A = this chain, B = another copy of it.
Amino acid sequence: MKITVYNEFIHEKEDEDVQAIYPDGIHMCLKRFLEAAGHEVRTGTLEEPECGLTKEVLDDTDVLFWWGHMRHGAVPDEVVDRVYNRVLKGMGLIVLHSGHASKIFGKLVGTDAGNLKWRQSGDMEILWAIDQGHPIMKGLGEKIVIEEEETYGEHFQIPQPDELILISWFTGGEVFRSGCVFKRGRGRIFYFRPGHESYPIYHNPQVQKLLLNAVEYVRKPECEGPYRYGHVARAIDEIAEEMKA
């Protein structure tokens, strides 16, 4: 499958602790395990022209990953619109962690999804599987434990997801809807909560397995017949003519 990974790529250059975890950026860590699973992976970062998400790249992408945090506002609206239109046409989108506050996620879900509680206090996170038998949980158990993570807490301002797959527990008393599928047009969006830059979340083999499952789940659907929009003749008249022919 053809995957593109967008990463803001700021923390990894400015913060030594983050650099120790992701020396060449979060996107390169994701790229490596996605490639190891046989996918073809490109990357884009904020500093590249058009964030590396040109029309050519997106038109050739089945699934797009999105990691951003500090500079959501710096992503040009035309790039956001381009991603949006591709998702409606079927491109899968996997939004990671602080990507909840990105322009593209809010535009697709229809709320101010930046609204949630957060805290960095080294809490443990336990992700419990809620949707038994969901393809995204294939080969995984009923929970994933992350010893230390940034905490997010409800209320998370999203619409009721089409599928709620994971709910997180945090030491400090919070819960969070951490694995959510939204369907928009022909596209599927998977939001996955874990992944603060200062913890080695994307090196975790269970997280990698889950994200590989997610790639399969949100991948661009295989071809179906075209949908017509706009002005149409009566369906029954068209059918009658086809029957005659």
Residues of A within 8 A of B (CB): 85, 88, 90, 107-112, 115-119, 121, 123-124, 126, 128-135, 137-143, 145, 147, 153-155, 157, 159-160, 162-164, 167-175, 177, 182-187, 221-237, 239, 243
Give the contacting residue for A155; candidates B119, B222, B227, B239; CB below 8 A: B227
Task: Specify which of B110, B131, B235 is in contact with A153 (CB 8 Å cutoff).
Answer: B235
Within 8 Å by CB of A222, from B138, B184, B227, lies: B138
A155-B142 CB under 8 A given contacts A115-B229, A224-B133: yes
Report B-chain residues with C-beta under 8 Å of the C-beta of A147: 243
Which residues of the partner chain B approach A153 to less than 8 Å between Cβ atoms? Answer: 128, 232, 235
Q: How far is the CB of A173 from chain B (nearest CB, A)?
A: 3
A172 x B128 contact (CB < 8 A): no
